[in-house]
Structure 1
Amino acid sequence: MNNTPAFYPIGTPGTPWSGAERAEWLSRQTRHRSYESEVLSKVELLRSRFDVEEYGRLKYGDENFPLLAIRSRDWDEDLPVILVTGGVHGYETSGVHGALQFVNQHTADYVDRANLLVAPCVSPWAYERIHRWNPDAIDPNRSFYDGSPAEESAALMHLVAPVVDRVVMHIDLHETTDTDETEFRPALAARDGKSFTPGGIPDGFYLVDDSENPQPDFQQAVIAAVEKVTHIAPADDKGEIIGSPVVARGVIEYPLKTLGLCASVANARYKTTTEVYPDSPRATPEQCNAAQAAAVIAAIDYSLAHP
């Protein structure tokens, strides 16, 4: 007899979901906002200054989502490539709008210095549902590997493939939210038939470095820049952030490639994943977007200064 207490409204505790549970989960998802009006319209305004390409198209039922990437207009094969991604988790709003803010306001500084490739909203279906997963209850940010089951991840890998060895820096823009604890972590445990152990949400900005190729000075340069915009998350009483040891102020490490994370999609020397905390009483949405943009600028500046 399974004595695991129920902690999520779908499925049987201790039993991984089948197709029926995934279908029930999908039936509960509601569209809350518009990818077309909030994201595509902003990208369209950039066409006069950048090359915009459709690198894929997601078709889910009767819904259709073009995937757009923004490129430097005067692409120079002799220059290094900088990759910026946002919205891999669609609910993490500042990742999307921070990337667009960077493109709109700050790219002039890098003309003739680097090629910029920006995919501001990798998961548009999830953006509209304010969710972490795609319609198949798959996390795109655990799906960056050959034969990926997530169309969002496969499309981005295809986009990056021609320049995979020329990318010198990749920054992937994320958020950690209160709903990670109230919805997404319980859903993940339920989907996989595991128990759920409540945790905490760090109050502030932090970064995830690559434990397989750590770049501590690079990470600290980003932390220093972001701290001028918003506060940095402290370690908890175990010296951890979301269960991982803090290796330097505001920095934890994951094995990016092993976990199939987006920040491993290119063979860049410099990689980082940002984590903004939009639910903090000490941060506004505008601050969160600005923090993401500041992180991008600092990451590019450091990588170009330390080839």
Structure 2
Amino acid sequence: MTSNQTDQLGWGEKWPAPAKLNLMLRIVGQRPDGYHLLQTVFQFIDLCDWLSFHPVDDGSVSLKQPIQGVPEADDLTVRAALLLKAETGCQAGVCIEVEKNLPMGGGLGGGSSDAATTLVVLNQLWGLQLSTEKLIALGLQLGADVPVFVYGYAAWAEGVGEKLEKIAPSEQWVVVIKPDCHVETREIFLAKDLTRDSKSITIAEFTAGNYKNDCLDVVSRRYQSVKNALCALSEFSEPRLTGTGACVFAQFSSKEAAISAYDALKGSWQVYLARGMNISPLLSKLEIGKHTH
């Protein structure tokens, strides 16, 4: 492959893997296999990991820099690339470079987003031509949050998070606090005191202000630092938990209000200032690419 071809196809380019917030999360039931049935609203924020993909000739899949403490074979980007190869019989290889900005174990979907970007971009770079539906189905094999990142739009989600419907909540400024703890999603979903029979609501009820997250009380009781973060944020706006945490966030109607909260909190907390987005930056970049090549 010539270097000119390499550049043209987007090899070596940086591709965004954005964070998500759960603007609402209700647990409305449980399947016989133990998976929880959810209603949730996903919205992206402009806080991203960045991935680049480098072609290799020997058909192997590797990471340029494995994440400390995560065996390379368990890394979701590696698993995503191998899954694509297994699904399509593609013989090509890749070395994946990840610039990690999203905190791990924060409920922002970093690992899932990295996996989705890998699926979507390699599908393009390798010329596999799998449909978005097919990529979503593959993503679900890697994790319940992967599909929405492949889908690329803010979404009302049901099932285990794979039934997606486009939705357009207001794109507000957000301040996100990452408490100094790692919340295990599995532990929260196994908790005896977790509500599992919330009444389903409609999109209209959500839009009217029904933002409840059924995991909030369970997580707050178990993790003092999450409780403290919620308390710190509550001085500026209504604080919420994303997914099972650990990150908590608050929305602001103006950039100024968000910056002022961010400035007040950054001395004591690991805090991020971001903007809500209804179209994933990954999807935007792909669309731009389609029109320029």
With structure 2 as the length reference, what TM-score do the two structures score?
Answer: 0.27
Q: Which has the higher contact order (CA 8 A, sep 6+)?
A: 2
Say which structure is richer in strand. Answer: 2
What's the TM-score once normalised by structure 1's chain length? 0.27
